[in-house]
């Protein structure tokens, strides 16, 4: 209680201070949190391959064996895609033609074959299994004895190592089985920590609502005995139809093994200078991460063909050979010869130095220089300050989230962290921390929020930017337009009218998901549940990879409806929003924009060169060009009133970023000044150059916007009195609005342009 009060006071005093300067932070480390998925994940399938498994039951197009193998391939494929060495599986077949197991000398274990030992599954393993899992010609082989073989395989493989152990029996129940010693076997399963699942093909399941009529006595007795057997060892009993339906209805969710990203000391204060500083041993784990699909690898077709040819010469089956045609990259640096570009000298890797770009300049930095400027950091998580929850802006969150808990088996650390968590909760505050994951790593700034549940407490953190990383941008307001003269307009062609606002509001209201369906109590039904939405890209790629491993030559299967359900509009919503959408199109005068012409010449494109008649090319070629030295050519950064065309074109030739935008902006500002000074010819030349460059850069909208603002300024007398005569000269010189007839990327029709060009 005393520690809680102390930390509570510390948080209260620290609120509002987002940064503590001059602190000397320390570091320490601690052991790892307990992992619920630690160790390995071992699964052994015990599969019935008797003659009856080749039959097609209940109107299915696949045999009982192939139908049940859908589940097997799905589970094995999920293990294969993880790429983890601890995700392993083995397969035992019973009612097989032969016998191959460690207890095969005993008659009770005849016709039981280990089709695959416990291994990390790969594509060749799956292909080999597929060739082995075919219906046999014998009914002999006991399911319970096959389970004993599976238990023995798991015990020999796992030993004393921790992890998840699964034993899955798949059968149609038509064989003859010996259930005399199931009690001792059930006890062995319980003592070994093995999870047993019995999946019966066309087994009755009242809970799932499946029952097969006219079932013979042998099958009925087998089902009852297997159900009782599952009850003795807390196993799972289900009909195969339920399992197959669950695969199609819901994707298999990936279980992630929690791995700590930080183990160390959370510090409040400066323990080197103050005795009242608080240090808590904590561990940090990922909480929410972005799921990413498997990445593709580079692939060499010639290498594969060569590998296949070699395999055939050695008499091996190409389906089981190990792929050896991956692509490896090698990077070589060569200094080109000045006289012959094709020749050059290779530079050893040891002689290379890193180069960093600063603008257009590359600055080399040697390893010694990097060591000098390297920022030395120590591992640790230090509280810098606290901030009220209502003062934090959500847009500052810039990473995935993690959780921070106390050190495992450290009750003192858990109590201390709990005090901090409850203090933050009571004060309605967040903690701002400086995190260094390992010595020498760059620091990050994280914001920590308290999370309190009945049986669990933690801090949830997210990375936030440093002050130097924040960029403040100013955007033009959406509800008004400011002219070049500074006048504010609340009615403009770029501003929505009241009719547009009303139409858009009605359109948005028509998409309200809470007003479509209602439950019996009158409450809204949640049509899109986050827990039922899946990433279709990840699922589809995984589905294709597993299908390819099992069926190399077949086309990928269709995507289940449960995955694609939310990729299409809800019919009720689509029908309801049709009328508001049409009203919105009419109000906004929506028109289809023609596709942009490919290959259109831009400003920097080379014009087609045609020699003039009578031009002496030899005389021209032997002339030495008069090139002005770069030092005598000053860089133009401002358009002057004296020569706006020359200055504008000089700025347009610049390759520096942002100069083109400045040139257009300055031209828009200088033209009204030239018009007000009565220099009509100079203003027309400036407009002509402005328009030409806007067309070449496909920015005619920029020019049209300027003309829309220029005309009112001319006729209102804002440019040095009555300048209406200049507007006539502008129209006669064809320097008005650019219409669609002149440029397809323009949004102005010919009629609109002609109407606008008329004098007021």
Closest CA to 44 of 180, 196, 163: 196
Note the Cα 437 to chain centre separation in Å.
Answer: 24
**Which two three-digit tokens encode residue 703?**
């020019």
Domain spanning 40-249: CATH 3.40.50.720: no
534-564 pLDDT tens trace: 888 888 898 899 999 999 888 988 888 888 8
pLDDT bucket at 416, cuts 50 / 70 / 90: very high
Instruction: Examine the pLDDT at 222 and tell me if it is beyond 60.
Output: yes
Q: What is the mean pLDDT of the chain?
A: 82
Closest CA to 92 of 150, 177, 165, 154: 150
Q: Is 264 helix (H, G, I), strand (E, B) or coil?
A: strand
Q: Are strands 87-94 and 112-119 parallel, antiparallel or unpaired?
A: antiparallel
| pLDDT for the residue numbered 701 | 85
Q: Is 168 helix (H, G, I), strand (E, B) or coil?
A: strand
Region 496-522: what's the mean pLDDT? 91
Closest CA to 694 of 665, 656, 658, 733: 665
Q: Is 524 helix (H, G, I), strand (E, B) or coil?
A: strand
Cβ atoms 623, 615 nearer than 8 A = no
Lowest mean pLDDT among 49-58, 108-117, 344-353, 397-406: 344-353
| pLDDT for the residue numbered 710 | 87
- Domain ranges, ordered by start, for the chain: 2-29+260-289+374-469, 40-249, 636-757
State the first-to-last Cα distance of the chain, in angstroms, to the nearest integer: 82
Question: CA-to-CA distance for 174 and 152, rounded, in angstroms?
Answer: 25
Lowest mean pLDDT among 4-8, 44-48, 180-184, 590-594: 4-8
Question: Where is mean pLDDT largest: 332-341, 359-368, 682-691?
Answer: 682-691
Domain spanning 2-29+260-289+374-469: CATH 2.40.290.10: yes
Region of 752 (left: φ > 0; alpha: ψ -120 to 50; beta: rest) is alpha
| pLDDT for the residue numbered 228 | 92
Q: Which CATH class is domain 636-757?
A: mainly alpha
| pLDDT for the residue numbered 72 | 95
Q: What is the 3-state secondary structure (H, E, C) of 688-712?
A: HHHHHHHHHCCCHHHHHHHHHHHHH
Which distant-in-sequence residues (6+ apart) come within 8 Å of 518 by Cβ? Answer: 524, 525
583-597 pLDDT tens trace: 999 999 888 877 755
Question: CA-to-CA distance for 118 and 40, rounded, in angstroms?
Answer: 12
Instruction: Examine the pLDDT at 313 and tell me if it is beyond 90.
Output: no
Closest CA to 447 of 464, 428, 466, 435: 464
């Amino acid at each position: 209680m005393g520690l809680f009060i102390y930390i509570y006071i510390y948080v209260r005093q620290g609120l509002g201070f987002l940064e503590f300067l001059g602190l000397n932070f320390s570091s320490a480390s601690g052991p790892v949190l307990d992992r619920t998925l630690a160790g390995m994940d071992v699964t052994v399938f015990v599969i019935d391959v008797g003659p009856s498994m080749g039959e097609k039951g209940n109107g299915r197009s696949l045999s009982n064996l192939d139908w049940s193998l859908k589940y097997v391939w799905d589970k094995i494929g999920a293990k294969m895609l993880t790429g983890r060495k601890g995700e392993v599986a083995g397969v035992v077949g019973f009612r097989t033609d032969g016998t191959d197991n460690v207890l095969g000398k005993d008659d009770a274990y005849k016709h039981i074959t280990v089709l695959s030992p416990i291994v990390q599954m790969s594509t060749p393993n799956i292909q080999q299994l597929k060739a082995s899992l075919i219906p046999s010609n014998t009914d002999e082989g006991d399911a319970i004895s096959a389970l004993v073989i599976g238990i023995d395989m798991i015990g020999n493989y796992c030993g004393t190592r921790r992890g998840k152990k699964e034993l899955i029996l798949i059968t149609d129940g038509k064989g003859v089985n010996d259930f005399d010693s199931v009690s001792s076997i059930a006890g062995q399963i319980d003592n070994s920590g093995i999870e047993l699942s019995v999946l019966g093909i066309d087994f009755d399941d009242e809970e799932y609502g499946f029952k097969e009529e006219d079932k013979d006595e042998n099958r009925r007795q087998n089902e009852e005995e297997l159900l009782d057997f599952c009850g003795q060892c807390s196993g799972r009993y289900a009909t195969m139809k339920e399992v197959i339906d669950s695969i199609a209805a819901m994707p298999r969710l990936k279980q992630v093994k929690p791995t700590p990203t930080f183990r160390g000391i959370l510090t409040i204060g400066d323990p080197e200078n103050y005795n009242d500083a608080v240090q808590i041993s904590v561990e940090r784990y990922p909480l929410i991460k972005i799921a990413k699909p498997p990445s593709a690898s580079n692939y060499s077709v010639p290498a594969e063909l060569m590998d296949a040819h070699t395999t055939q010469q050695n008499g091996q089956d190409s389906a089981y050979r190990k792929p050896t045609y991956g692509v490896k990259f090698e990077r070589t640096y060569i200094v080109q010869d000045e006289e012959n570009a094709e020749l050059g000298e290779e530079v050893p890797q040891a002689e290379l130095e890193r180069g960093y770009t600063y603008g257009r300049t590359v600055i080399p930095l040697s390893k010694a220089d990097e060591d000098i400027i390297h920022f030395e950091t120590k591992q640790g998580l230090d509280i810098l300050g606290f901030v009220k929850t209502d003062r934090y802006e959500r847009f500052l969150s810039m990473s995935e989230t993690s959780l921070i808990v106390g050190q495992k088996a450290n009750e003192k650390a858990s109590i201390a962290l709990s005090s901090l968590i409850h203090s933050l909760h009571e004060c309605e505050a967040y903690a701002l921390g400086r995190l260094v994951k390992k010595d020498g790593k760059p620091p990050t700034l994280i914001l920590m929020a308290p999370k309190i549940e009945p049986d669990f407490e933690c801090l949830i953190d997210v990375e936030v930017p440093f002050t130097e990383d924040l960029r403040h941008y100013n955007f033009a307001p959406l509800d008004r337009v400011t002219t070049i003269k500074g006048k504010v307009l609340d009615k403009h062609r770029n501003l929505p009218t009241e009719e547009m606002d009303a139409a858009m509001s009605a359109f948005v209201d028509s998409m309200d998901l809470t007003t479509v369906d209602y439950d019996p109590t009158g409450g809204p039904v949640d049509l899109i549940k986050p827990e039922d939405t899946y990433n279709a890209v990840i699922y589809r790629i995984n589905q294709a990879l597993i299908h390819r491993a099992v069926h190399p030559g077949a086309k990928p299967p269709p995507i289940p409806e449960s995955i694609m359900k939310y990729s299409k509009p809800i019919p009720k919503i689509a029908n309801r929003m049709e009328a508001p959408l049409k009203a919105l199109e009419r109000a906004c005068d929506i028109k289809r924009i023609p596709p942009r012409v490919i290959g259109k010449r831009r400003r920097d494109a080379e014009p087609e060169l045609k020699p003039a008649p009578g031009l002496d090319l030899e005389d021209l070629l032997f002339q030495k060009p008069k090139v002005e030295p770069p030092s005598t050519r000053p860089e133009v950064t401002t358009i002057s009133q004296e020569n706006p065309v020359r200055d504008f074109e000089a700025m347009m030739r610049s390759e520096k970023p942002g100069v083109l935008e400045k040139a257009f902006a300055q031209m828009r500002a200088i033209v009204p000044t030239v018009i007000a000074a009565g220099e009509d010819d100079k203003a027309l030349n400036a407009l002509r150059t402005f328009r030409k460059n806007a067309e070449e850069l496909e920015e005619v909208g920029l020019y049209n916007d300027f003309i829309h603002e220029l005309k009112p300024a001319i006729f209102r007398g804002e440019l040095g009195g009555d300048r209406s005569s200049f507007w006539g000269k502008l129209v006669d010189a064809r320097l008005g609005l650019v219409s669609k007839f002149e440029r397809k990327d323009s949004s102005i029709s010919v009629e609109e342009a002609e109407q606008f060009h008329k004098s007021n």
